[in-house]
């Protein structure tokens, strides 16, 4: 029978803002949501001026939880105040970054929290229509959201004259159909308009020219889910939960060779070493750590020596990586980094939309090169060739997918060059015989 | 033949957008849910209702990996082998399924019951290794659990998520 395992194993080190209602029976139902401060944030927001709402979110230092980490309030403030055009709120629920499964639990266990956040965002920019773009594979979650949206309409939290405020807002879900690139905001907009998900040139940015050419804010599920809490408790409170300029908590998905894989809500700036050892229970099977992907496969990998870093946007950027989507993937001592690089590249080659030559040709080339290399057909010049190709993708594409393919590859080629050299020296993969498989 | 219920659903979905074209991908998914794949009839109907030429619907289909122009198995096994699942045995799970079902990537069993696909990250990383059968998630897979599931599906209890 189908199983939806609750990935919340829990840890005493968690700070539960977004996940505070998880585990309450029927928390996804409006009746229960209302018993736990549900829609109080919206009530408060509707009594403020829209600009005050934006100001509070800016003050909170809430940064985009999809991966880019841009200050959400600032993004909202780019929407023109004087315009004849309709305005839109789009929730990016296309979660597809390898290692990431946190939006899934937010939608499953607290859909009204997300809906409330979207409505508040709509009020802030005076938009009257929202769309939740949800990846095609998350069909059961679309159904959860559809039911919650129906409940919200019945309760007067959506539709005309919400809570007697005079503010109207309509919301609907929209299904994707299998495309990582549609998580990129402009490709998402093209997909939402009914086209193939190719990206658009920026500027103009969606806040000015977005859905149907109209001002649009696009925010990640987790980003929007934080908004009701910021309204309730204030931006200053939220900012203080994290580190300077990196406000709040975030959901981290620990996966890979970790003893307790699961989703954990921790304050921004939580030390990675503690996260692995104390929250995740350490590397599985008592093995040694080799590498960490800190925020989804698009991030440069960290070696075992680099885990003394606070997990926030700025600290990871300072050491040449990214907080990204919070998908923390643990790789143990028996992992072949050449194989890891190949599999990561295989993903980007598959998902490349094909628009830009460096990405389309470069990812295919690197996938073939890494596949041949791991399969014992490597040439001595392959590492330098791969670095060269990667640098010719990096920064040379219309959207960040090219960068997302190049950055982890460059980090593995540089930090684990010795593994590539060992493959050449041995004429075989030194890790192949180890059973790194089904536990 | 598209059912009357589906045609009504088409009306509801199209009404959600100020520009009808936006409905194309959702309509393709809902048509596929009912018919098992995207049929010529569905393409014609969607194009007509949305006000585009059929080729404009067809050009979307090739882009999206979940849309199939030809029939696939009644139970479509989509097994993730991306990084988190690979680290926890996803490749071995895929090999096991391929051997058990006697088919490879993007193939369908002769009786039309099962098809198999190696897919990218499903968002089930904390329950790796994981797969989807149609829309249902199965996580923390072992060869034994897969064998048991295949036996259960052969007796045909139906997918939990109805279109």
- Least Cα distance to A189 among A204, A179, A199, A180 occurs for A199
User: Smallest Cβ distance to B123: which of A86, A138, A174?
Assistant: A138
Which residues in chain B show pLDDT less than 70? Answer: 157-163
Minimum mean pLDDT range among A23-27, A60-64, A219-223: A23-27
User: Smallest Cβ distance to B60: which of A180, A195, A353?
Assistant: A195
Answer yes or no: is pLDDT of A239 > 60.
yes
Tell me the two tokens of residue A100. 């990431």
Instruction: Give residue for tokens 């005050």.
Output: A52
Q: Per-residue confidence at A301, pLDDT binned at 50, 70, 90?
A: very high
- Residues B96 and B118: beta-carbon distance below 8 Å: no
Per-residue pLDDT, A428: 87
Counting residues of chain A whose pLDDT is more than 90, the rounded percentage is 94
Alpha-carbon distances, residue A430 vs A310, A425, A427 (angstroms): 33, 10, 9
Per-residue pLDDT, A80: 97
Q: Which among B22, B34, B54, B87 is the top mutation candidate for probing chain A, defined by the most A β-carbons within 10 Å of its own β-carbon?
A: B87
Contact check, Cβ <8 Å, B121/A98: yes
pLDDT, averaged across chain A: 95
Contact check, Cβ <8 Å, A194/B21: yes
d(CA B139, CA B156): 20
Q: Can you list the domains of chain A with their CATH numbers?
A: 30-241 (3.40.50.11540), 249-332 (3.10.20.600), 337-426 (1.20.1440.230)
Per-position DSSP letters for A141-179, written without gaps between them = HHHHHHHHHHHHHHTTSSBSSGGGSS--BEEEEEE--S-
Closest chain B C-alpha to A412 CA, distance in angstroms: 14
Per-residue pLDDT, A23: 87
d(CA A373, CA A228): 50
Per-residue pLDDT, A387: 98
Query: Would you state the CATH architecture of domain B75-154?
Result: 3-Layer(aba) Sandwich (3.40)
Answer yes or no: is pLDDT of A382 > 60.
yes
The ipTM (two decimal places) reads: 0.96
Taken in order A62, A67, A70, A75, is the CA torsion positive or negative?
A: negative
Alpha-carbon distances, residue A358 vs A389, A394, A395 (angstroms): 8, 8, 10
- Residues A439 and B141: beta-carbon distance below 8 Å: no
Q: Which among B38, B123, B131, B157 is the top mutation candidate for probing chain A, defined by the most A β-carbons within 10 Å of its own β-carbon?
A: B123
* A330 contacts on B by Cβ (under 8 Å): 87
Query: Over the stretch A253-266, which tens digit does the pLDDT of each residue have?
Result: 999 999 999 999 99
A277-316 residues touching B, CB cutoff 8 A: 293, 297
Per-residue pLDDT, B159: 63
Per-residue pLDDT, B156: 76
d(CA A75, CA A64): 9
Tell me the two tokens of residue A255. 């996966």
User: Smallest Cβ distance to B82: which of A196, A331, A347?
Assistant: A347
Query: Over the stretch A2-44, which tens digit does the pLDDT of each residue have?
Result: 454 555 788 999 999 999 999 899 999 999 999 999 999 999 9
* A437 contacts on B by Cβ (under 8 Å): 88-89, 91-92
- Residues A226 and A18: beta-carbon distance below 8 Å: yes
Closest chain B C-alpha to A99 CA, distance in angstroms: 6
User: Smallest Cβ distance to A193: which of B21, B81, B125?
Assistant: B21
- Residues B42 and B2: beta-carbon distance below 8 Å: yes
d(CA A137, CA A303): 33
Query: Over the stretch A82-113, which tens digit does the pLDDT of each residue have?
Result: 999 999 999 999 999 999 999 999 999 999 99
Per-residue pLDDT, B162: 43
- Least Cα distance to A57 among A106, A130, A122 occurs for A122
A156-185 residues touching B, CB cutoff 8 A: 172, 174-180
Per-residue pLDDT, B160: 54
Per-residue pLDDT, A433: 58
Answer yes or no: is pLDDT of A248 > 70.
yes
In chain B, domain spans: 4-61, 75-154
CA angle A150/A251/A322 to nearest 5° reads 125
Query: Over the stretch A107-142, which tens digit does the pLDDT of each residue have?
Result: 999 999 999 999 999 999 999 999 999 999 999 999
Query: Which residues are CB-contacts of A409 (< 8 A; sequence separation ≥ 6)?
Result: A341, A344, A345, A366, A386, A390
Q: Per-residue confidence at A437, pLDDT binned at 50, 70, 90?
A: very low
Contact check, Cβ <8 Å, B122/A4: no
Answer yes or no: is pLDDT of A435 > 90.
no
A199-228 residues touching B, CB cutoff 8 A: 212
> How many Å is the Cα radius of gyration of chain A?
22
Q: Domain B4-61: which CATH class? A: mainly alpha
Per-residue pLDDT, A5: 52
Contact check, Cβ <8 Å, B125/A98: yes
Tell me the two tokens of residue A118. 């979207």
Contact check, Cβ <8 Å, B120/A347: yes
Per-residue pLDDT, A381: 96
Query: Over the stretch A155-208, which tens digit does the pLDDT of each residue have?
Result: 999 999 999 999 999 999 999 999 999 999 999 999 999 999 999 999 999 999
Tell me the average pLDDT across A410-433. Answer: 92
Taken in order A19, A23, A29, A34, is the CA torsion positive or negative?
A: negative
Alpha-carbon distances, residue A166 vs A34, A107, A170, A418 (angstroms): 21, 28, 13, 65
């Amino acid at each position: 029978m189908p199983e939806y395992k609750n990935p919340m194993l829990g840890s005493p080190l968690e700070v539960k803002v977004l996940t505070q209602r998880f585990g309450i029976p029927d928390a996804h139902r409006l009746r229960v949501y209302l018993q736990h401060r549900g829609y109080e944030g919206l009530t408060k927001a509707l009594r403020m001026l829209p600009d005050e709402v934006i100001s509070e979110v800016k003050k909170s230092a809430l940064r985009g939880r999809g991966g880019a980490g841009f200050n959400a309030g600032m993004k909202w403030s780019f929407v023109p105040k004087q315009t004849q055009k309709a305005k839109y709120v789009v929730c990016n629920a296309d979660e597809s970054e390898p290692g990431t499964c946190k939006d899934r639990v937010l939608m499953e266990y607290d859909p009204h929290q997300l809906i409330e956040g979207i409505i508040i965002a709509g009020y802030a920019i005076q938009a009257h229509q929202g769309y939740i773009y949800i990846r095609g594979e998350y069909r059961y979650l679309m159904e959860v959201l559809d039911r919650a949206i129906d409940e919200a309409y019945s309760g007067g939290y959506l539709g005309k004259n919400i809570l007697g405020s005079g503010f109207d807002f309509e919301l609907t879900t929209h299904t994707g159909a299998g495309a990582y690139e549609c998580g990129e905001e402009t490709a998402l907009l093209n997909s939402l308009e009914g086209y193939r998900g190719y990206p658009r040139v920026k500027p103009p940015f969606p806040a000015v020219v977005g859905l149907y050419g109209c001002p649009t804010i696009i925010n990640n599920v987790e980003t929007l889910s934080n908004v009701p809490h910021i309204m309730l408790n204030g931006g200053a409170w939220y900012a203080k939960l994290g580190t300077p300029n990196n406000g709040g908590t975030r959901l981290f998905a620990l996966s890979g060779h970790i003893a307790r894989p699961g989703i954990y809500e921790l304050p921004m700036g939580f030390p990675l070493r503690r996260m692995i050892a104390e929250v995740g229970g350490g590397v599985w099977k008592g093995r040694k750590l080799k590498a960490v992907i800190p925020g989804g496969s698009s991030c440069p990998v960290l070696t075992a020596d680099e885990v003394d870093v606070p997990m926030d946007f700025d600290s990871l950027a300072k050491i040449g990586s990214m907080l990204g989507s919070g998908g923390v993937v643990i790789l143990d001592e028996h992992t072949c980094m050449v194989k890891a690089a190949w599999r990561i590249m295989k993903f980007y080659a598959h998902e490349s939309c094909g628009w830009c030559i460096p990405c389309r040709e470069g990812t295919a080339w690197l996938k073939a090169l890494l596949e041949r290399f791991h399969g014992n057909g490597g040439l001595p010049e392959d590492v330098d060739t791969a670095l060269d190709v990667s640098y010719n993708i990096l920064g040379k594409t219309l959207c960040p997918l090219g960068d997302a393919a190049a950055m982890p590859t460059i980090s593995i080629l540089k930090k684990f060059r010795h593994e590539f050299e060992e493959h050449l020296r041995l004429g075989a993969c030194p890790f192949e015989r180890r059973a790194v498989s089904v536990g | 033949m598209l059912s009357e219920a589906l045609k009504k659903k088409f009306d509801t979905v199209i009404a959600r957008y100020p520009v009808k074209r936006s409905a194309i991908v959702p309509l393709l998914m809902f048509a596929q849910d009912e018919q098992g794949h995207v049929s010529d009839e569905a393409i014609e109907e969607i194009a007509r209702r949305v006000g585009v030429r059929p080729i404009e619907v067809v050009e979307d289909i090739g882009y999206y990996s979940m849309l199939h122009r030809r029939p696939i198995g009644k139970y479509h096994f989509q097994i993730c082998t991306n990084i988190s699942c690979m680290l926890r045995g996803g490749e071995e799970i895929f090999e096991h399924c391929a051997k058990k079902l006697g088919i490879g990537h993007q193939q369908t069993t002769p009786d039309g019951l099962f098809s198999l696909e190696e897919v990218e990250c499903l968002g089930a990383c904390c329950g790796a290794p994981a797969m989807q059968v149609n829309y249902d998630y199965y996580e923390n897979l072992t060869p034994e659990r897969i064998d048991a599931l295949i036996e259960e599906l052969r007796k045909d209890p139906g997918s939990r998520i109805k279109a």
